Amino acid sequence: MVLNPAFMRYVHDMWLEKKGYYPSTGFLALGLALHMCDEVSVFGYGADSDGNWSHYWEKLMNKKLKTGAHPGDTEYRMIQKLDEQQKLKFYTGF
């Protein structure tokens, strides 16, 4: 366990409004970065241009991939909101 479960709960409750079962690893890393770093940039996060979610390192085989236990839409909207508030820089790639 790298992160304290209390931090994971904090991100789920406060940042994601208890949506989904738990935050994705990427969103937890983003939350940690925002607490530790002076500047945060986000690359390659979210769905592709067709709305399919995947990991950046793998070829997407299932074109109907959902975010499972993670609240992907909520996470994405929060990143957009943080970008609008200039808390981070979000590079969408398209």
Task: Look up 76 and say whether it is catalytic.
Answer: no
The pair of structure tokens assigned to 47 is 């769905």
DSSP 21-82: SS--HHHHHHHHHHHH-S--EEES-SB-TTS-B--TTS----TT---TTS-HHHHHHHHHHH
Catalytic pick among 10, 12, 21, 22: 22
Q: What one-character DSSP code corresponds to residue 18? A: T
Task: Look up 35 and say whether it is catalytic.
Answer: no
Catalytic pick among 12, 45, 70, 76: 70
> So which residues are the catalytic ones?
22, 70
